[in-house]
Amino acid sequence: MGFNQRGHQLNVALTVIQTGDIVERFATTVQKDFLVLLSNFFQRF
């Protein structure tokens, strides 16, 4: 395996990790918003 191939694999791994981090943050934010909406909805009744 050449150096370029190894470097490419490292870049792919880093990209996957970063994407996972962004997705996780996004999911957490959506969850919080959803919970707030849900509690507001139930407080009305």
pTM above 0.95, yes or no: no
Backbone angles phi, psi at 2, to 5 degrees: -80, 170
**Per-residue pLDDT tens over the stretch 8-43:** 999 999 999 999 999 999 999 999 999 999 999 999
Amino acid residing at 15: T
For 42, the token pair is 């139930």
Distance in Å from the first CA to the final CA of the chain: 65
Picking from 34, 37, 38, 14, the residue whose alpha carbon sits closest to that of residue 26 is 34
CA distances to 8, 10, 11, 16, 41 from 4, in Å: 6, 10, 10, 18, 55
The per-residue pLDDT for range 34-44, each reduced to its tens digit, is 999 999 999 98
